[in-house]
Amino acid sequence: MKKKDALWEKVEKVFPKDPALQELHYARLKIHEQTKGMSHVEFVKYIKAKAEKVLAQAV
């Protein structure tokens, strides 16, 4: 895990004893933060780019 930030602190308060839900919730919040203000088209491009990156690493 990387250095804790304000989002981690928020997530740990919401899910104090569930590391799996902490990871999931943190990822969701991080994506939300990174895509604020994007149009629907930009958001889809962002998600596709991330998916391609993950798929490339899996091979």
pLDDT reported for residue 58: 83
pLDDT of 1 strictly over 60: no
Q: Is residue 42 part of a domain?
A: yes
Q: Give the phi and the psi of residue 36 in degrees, each rounded to 5.
A: -55, 135
Question: In total, how many domains does the chain have?
Answer: 1
Q: Is residue 45 part of a domain?
A: yes
Start-to-end CA distance of the chain, whole Å, equals 23
Where in the sequence is the domain holding 14, given as residue range(s)? 6-58
pLDDT of 15 strictly over 50: yes
- For 10-21, b where at least 16 C-beta lie within 10 A, e where not — what string? ebbeebeeeeee
Q: Is residue 54 part of a domain?
A: yes
pLDDT reported for residue 48: 96
pLDDT reported for residue 3: 65
Q: Is residue 49 part of a domain?
A: yes
Q: Can you read off the two tokens belonging to residue 58?
A: 């899996």
Residue 59's pLDDT band (cuts 50, 70, 90): confident
CB 11 within 8 A of CB 25: yes
